Amino acid sequence: MKGMEITLGFLALSIFLLYSVYFIKIIKGNPESFELELLSSLANWMIEKGAKSQVRIWLMLFLSLLLEASYFLLVFLIVANPVILGFTVLFAAFELLHLLVLGLAFKRFFQGQKILKEVFNWKMERSSALLFFTYSLLVLINLWWI
């Protein structure tokens, strides 16, 4: 059990640190420049990789789904707080919807039905980032008290 707690703590801390930059930009009210930088970097990477980028994007989405499912499963196995567990169910459902919407948008992009800047729903991306940041903090606090 201790190994699973350490794994969950590592995942939660990694997510917390990863999303902290975007979280701060959102809270300060200026996430657009950061989002534009992300979009520009993605476009440049896709140009550099060419057709290989499509396979890598699908792989990234699949790995994101697996990683998020593992993270939420670890929370269910370790955390006994009913409030956190309820929040986990709602957040996991939101993230599943988020990945489905993103996957559909990339499918349309690769079919030529969307341009790259239309792939991301930035309100959903911001909501996801805020939720991941907050949720990972709550998980870390919960682990501290186990």
CB 142 within 8 A of CB 13: no
Q: Say how far apart CA 88 and CA 90 lie, in whole Å.
A: 5
> Global pTM?
0.90
CB 129 within 8 A of CB 16: no
Taking Cα atoms as reference points, which of 41, 56, 29 lies closest to residue 110? 56
- Domain range summary for the chain, segments of one domain joined by +: 2-144
CB 126 within 8 A of CB 13: no
Per-residue pLDDT of the chain (146 residues; tens, 9 = 90+): 689 999 999 999 999 999 999 999 999 999 999 999 999 999 999 999 999 999 999 999 999 999 999 999 999 999 999 999 999 999 999 999 999 999 999 999 999 999 999 999 999 999 999 999 999 999 999 999 86
Exposed/middle/buried for residue 136 (C-beta within 10 Å: 0-12, 13-18, 19+): buried
